[in-house]
Amino acid sequence: MKTAVKAYLSEIGRRGGRRSRRSLDSDTARAMVRVREAKRAFKRFHAMCFWSYDPRYSISADDVPWVAEQLMKNGGREAWEVGAKLCR
């Protein structure tokens, strides 16, 4: 790769990285992590705890307590531990 091309790609990559960075407050970041973990748990324990629901159901922030409750009520020990982490 020519040095001019390499320098150009380096510069546009650096500019894009600066623009795309966003700052989140800690509460919003925690909420995003909880939703992500609830989605993972829904997929992982679907056959055990969520078999009567559509597997493509989209979990939102409002659904996190419901997912935790279902995991703790209908799942085994591993599902209960995941549900307990979602409750924190």
Q: What is the Cα Rg of the chain in Å? A: 20
Q: What is the pLDDT of residue 25?
A: 82
Contact (Cβ atoms closer than 8 angstroms) between residue 68 and residue 83: yes
Residues with Cβ within 8 Å of 49's Cβ and at least 6 positions away in sequence, in order, are 70, 71, 73, 74, 75, 79
What is the distance between the alpha carbons of residues 71 and 34, in angstroms, rounded to a whole number?
14
**Structure confidence at residue 13 (pLDDT):** 76
What pLDDT is attached to residue 19?
56
Distance CA 6, CA 21 (A): 23
Residue 3 is predicted with a pLDDT of 86
0.85 exceeded by pTM: no
Per-residue pLDDT of the chain (88 residues; tens, 9 = 90+): 788 888 888 887 776 655 556 677 889 989 999 999 999 999 999 999 999 999 999 999 999 999 999 999 999 999 999 999 999 8
